[in-house]
Copies of this chain bind each other. A is one copy, B any other.
Amino acid sequence: MPLIVQKYGGTSVAGPERMKAVARAIIARKRRGARLLVVVSAMGDTTDDLWALARRITPKPDPREMDMLLATGEQQAIALLAIAIKARGEEAVSFTGAQVGIITDSRHTRARIVRVKADRIRKALAAGKIAIVAGFQGESAGEEITTLGRGASDLTAVALAAALKADTCELMKDVKGVMTTDPRIVPEARVLPVITYDEMLEMASLGSQVLNARSVEYAKKFRVPLVVKSSFEESEGTMIVEEEPGMEKTLVRGITFAREQAKVTVLGVPDRPGIAAVLFRALASADLNVDMIIQDVSESGITKISFTVPRSDLALAMETARTAADKLGAKDVRSDENVAKVSIVGVGMLSHSGVAATMFSALAQSGVNIQMISTSEIKISVVVEKARMQTAVKALHRVFRLDTRTVEAGKPFLVEPEKIGGGRKGAGRRKRGKSR
């Protein structure tokens, strides 16, 4: 019988009625013929509420004790779900992260999984029971309770699926799957039947809320077959898979965006080896999460370096950058909060220079000015004025025909950029800076 790992998020189990609905869905899944391991998040806003409670005591609660506190959220959810399943006559047993041996390092509130034992899960499954495991938490070598960071219940599910060599890991969400873009911005957005790990990784890190990047990385590393689907309705969802030959021609899979961005530019930097190292080592030491980095081609020995950070980190980023700029003999440091990032994601797009051209000309035709460009193997990101972000997303969704194409495994599509306002193919290349 296949082994299925299912993961339900906090919204899916918020309150007794939803808990019962999830219990019914789980039992139905098992009775269709599967050994079932279910990972659950804390109910509704529990985690936020616990943070708020701790902050009413002190603004900076001790991380070790925060983990002790936060871990109770998932523990309550697994107990109640097991109660709901057993009340319907199916055998189930719940386990905390510590009990199933999800061994982590000891970085409290953001621990990383180092090993997964899962002995108790194997026993429970062998006894025909539905095993229910608390997401988001583990135990360090020193037997301290740890948590894995926000959104990491997905990671728990993926790690357990890997350890137990599960046939599928189903991430049950309050959406139908991974979409071409956010339907609140583009009503024509569609569910993608299939997407590669790498594309999903870019989507996640570029602002798609569906999955967090760590979970996708882990799934890719251990080749865990992932499915993202709705916990509220029957749907095929989105399969996340390794790249296949049939997919080679896929160009643009989806459009992502991130609103809460800020841009910092260090101006008038004498261009010599090591300047970027000085700046970004300083930013790393301040524990700042730098996103896009652009260094323009230098003119007469003077260059500038720009980068983006989450807007909440801007003050600290400016302070750090100013200190580094003094050391480097740079002229000035400027910031801009009025920016957003828009990205297109798709395997193999960089081998088709037409994609970049299509993107840039579509933006130009919609009156969206591009402030920064950054590329990787499978994505092109641009920073634009925040007020133009929606326009940009809509234009890109349209130009790459994401609203109409049927993308299925084995049925690749090929965008034909020459059909869309050609003639400016080089534009992107010229504007694009060095990317790190």
A binding-site residues for B, Cβ under 8 Å: 16, 19-20, 50, 53-54, 56-58, 60-62, 64-66, 68-69, 71-72, 75-76, 78-80, 82-84, 86-87, 93-94, 96, 99, 143, 145
Contact = CB atoms under 8 A, between A and B. Distances in A.
28 contacts: A16-B53, A16-B57, A19-B57, A20-B57, A53-B80, A54-B79, A57-B80, A57-B87, A58-B83, A58-B87, A62-B82, A64-B93, A65-B80, A65-B82, A65-B94, A66-B79, A68-B75, A68-B79, A68-B82, A68-B94, A68-B96, A69-B76, A69-B80, A69-B83, A71-B75, A72-B75, A72-B76, A96-B145
A143 B94 contact: no
Contacts of A19: 57
Contacts of A58: 83-84, 87
A138 to B, nearest CB: 14
A432 B66 CA distance: 59
A56 B65 CA distance: 30
Contacts of A65: 79-80, 82-83, 86, 94
A106 to B, nearest CB: 14
Lowest 7 A-B CB distances belong to which pairs? A58-B87, A69-B79, A72-B72, A68-B79, A16-B56, A65-B82, A61-B83
A83 B62 contact: yes
Nearest to A144: B99
A76 to B, nearest CB: 5
B68 A54 contact: no
Which of A56, A76, A86 neighbours the largest number of chain B CB atoms within 10 Å of its CB? A76
A97 to B, nearest CB: 13
Given A64-B93, A66-B83, A96-B145, 17 more contacts: A54-B83, A57-B80, A57-B83, A57-B87, A58-B87, A62-B82, A62-B83, A65-B82, A65-B83, A68-B79, A68-B94, A69-B80, A69-B83, A72-B72, A72-B76, A72-B79, A99-B143
Nearest to A84: B57
Q: What does DSSP make chain A's interface, helix, strand, loop or mixed?
A: helix
B76 A50 contact: yes
A239 B385 CA distance: 72
A306 to B, nearest CB: 39
Contacts of A71: 75
A20 B56 CA distance: 10
Contacts of A93: 64
A145 B145 CA distance: 15
A139 to B, nearest CB: 10
Which of A56, A58, A84 neighbours the largest number of chain B CB atoms within 10 Å of its CB? A58
Nearest to A55: B16
A80 B62 contact: no
Nearest to A120: B143
B87 A61 contact: yes
Which of A57, A71, A86 neighbours the largest number of chain B CB atoms within 10 Å of its CB? A57
Nearest to A52: B16
